[in-house]
């Protein structure tokens, strides 16, 4: 009789242990999934942020280059106007070549 009671008690203890282990494993699995979800959300947000930063940097670089080219073109044009095209000592073929160069420069921009 006492043997049956000990066996019953041992079975109950094993069952309780298995139930607790299963609960713990489910809880750990839920936590792992939650951590993975948070990690994926963070990576997506970081990717989006880096993508936006790259786009902003690219736009800024384009604006800087555009401003530089415009400024450079205006200065070169002023130089050509003042120094080359208005100088009566410069040969007409040089004036024509300079004006053709400027036309090509401005049509490619």
Look at residue 39 and give its three-state secondary structure. Answer: helix
Q: In angstroms, rounded to a whole number, what is the distance separating the alpha carbons of residues 99 and 82? A: 13
Which structure tokens are listed for 25? Answer: 């494993």
Q: Domain tally for the chain?
A: 1
User: What's the pLDDT tens digit per position in 52-108?
Assistant: 988 888 877 776 666 655 555 555 556 655 666 666 677 777 777 777 777 776 675
Q: What is the pTM of this model?
A: 0.47
Q: What is the DSSP letter of 91?
A: -
In this structure, are residues 49 and 82 in contact, taking their beta carbons and an 8 Å threshold? no
User: What's the pLDDT tens digit per position in 27-56?
Assistant: 999 999 999 999 999 999 999 999 998 888
Task: Write down the pLDDT at residue 29.
Answer: 97
Task: Write down the pLDDT at residue 42.
Answer: 96
């Amino acid at each position: 009789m006492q043997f049956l009671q000990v066996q019953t008690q041992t079975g109950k203890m094993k069952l309780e242990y298995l139930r607790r282990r299963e609960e713990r494993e489910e809880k750990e699995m839920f936590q792992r999934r939650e951590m993975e979800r948070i990690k994926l959300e963070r990576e997506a947000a970081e990717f989006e942020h880096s993508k936006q930063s790259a786009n902003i940097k690219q736009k800024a670089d384009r604006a800087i280059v555009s401003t530089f080219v415009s400024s450079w073109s205006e200065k070169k044009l002023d130089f050509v106007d003042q120094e080359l095209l208005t100088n009566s000592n410069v040969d007409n073929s040089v004036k024509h070549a300079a004006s053709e160069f400027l036309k090509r420069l401005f049509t490619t921009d």
